[in-house]
A and B are shown apart, each in its own frame.
Chain A
Amino acid sequence: DTEVTQTPKHLVMGMTNKKSLKCEQHMGHRAMYWYKQKAKKPPELMFVYSYEKLSINESVPSRFSPECPNSSLLNLHLHALQPEDSALYLCASSQDAPQETQYFGPGTRLLVL
């Protein structure tokens, strides 16, 4: 099973809302990732977790708050977002070793009004 699941598929939120994106994998991977993808652009790395500890934060604004409660789950908490944060948010996971493949979920399409 090489599946990464993400919920919800679509999300519309106002700039004052608080919402969370969820990601789950059951492949035993110990590295998990959040990417942001704007339309017609490549994915951009936001955060990396390794063994449930934050390994990389690519200077992401604090209105995005990641959380890795256990080795299978990854959350992205959203608060006071801006319309320019509207994008496809992709989660990925991999074995925590060099050259390992990252497996991507289908993404959450976020629209901020």
Chain B
Amino acid sequence: AQSVTQPDIHITVSEGASLELRCNYSYGATPYLFWYVQSPGQGLQLLLKYFSGDTLVQGIKGFEAEFKRSQSSFNLRKPSVHWSDAAEYFCAVGEWVTGGGNKLTFGTGTQLKVEL
């Protein structure tokens, strides 16, 4: 079964500092990988996704992520964090299901706090 691990439950960074959020996955085939962000009490917004091709993917809000098959990782990065980036970040792996639809399995999430 597929699974996702986000080893950091909480991360605090200063505004303007760089950020890296870790994600490790377990999946037998080529994974479909996603990063979503969730502000308090809100739905999830897609930041970026990877399913093939260039292993460095660019997303919205200045985020990027790098897929490393040898390390089973898909870490999220941002060179300079803004106070508005404070939120919960979820890494997810998708699986196409017989009968239709994609099943997303989420990691436990990383809560990002930004200090001014």
**Interfacial residues, chain A to chain B (CB-CB below 8 A):** 4, 30-31, 33, 41-45, 48-51, 53, 55-56, 88, 90, 92, 94, 96, 98-107, 109
Is B99 in the interface zone, CB < 8 Å from A? yes
Tell which of B45, B100, B106 touches A48, judged by Cβ atoms closer than 8 Å. B100
Flag the segment in B13-21, B36-44, B62-70, B75-83 that touches A.
B36-44
Chain A residues contacting B49 (CB-CB under 8 Å) are 99, 101
Where the two chains meet, the residues of B that have a C-beta atom closer than 8 Å to any C-beta of A are 32, 34, 36, 41-46, 49, 51, 90, 94, 96-97, 99-109
**Which label, helix, strand, loop or mixed, suits the secondary structure of the B interface?**
strand
Q: How far is the CB of B5 from chain A (nearest CB, A)?
A: 12
10 CB < 8 A contacts A-B? A4-B43, A42-B106, A45-B105, A48-B97, A56-B101, A94-B102, A99-B51, A104-B43, A106-B42, A106-B43
Distance between A60 CB and nearest chain B CB, rounded to angstroms? 14
What secondary structure prevails in chain A residues at the interface with B? strand
**Are B94 and A31 in contact, with the CB atoms below 8 A?**
no
Q: Enumerate chain A residues within 8 angstroms of B103, measured Cβ to Cβ.
A: 45, 48, 56
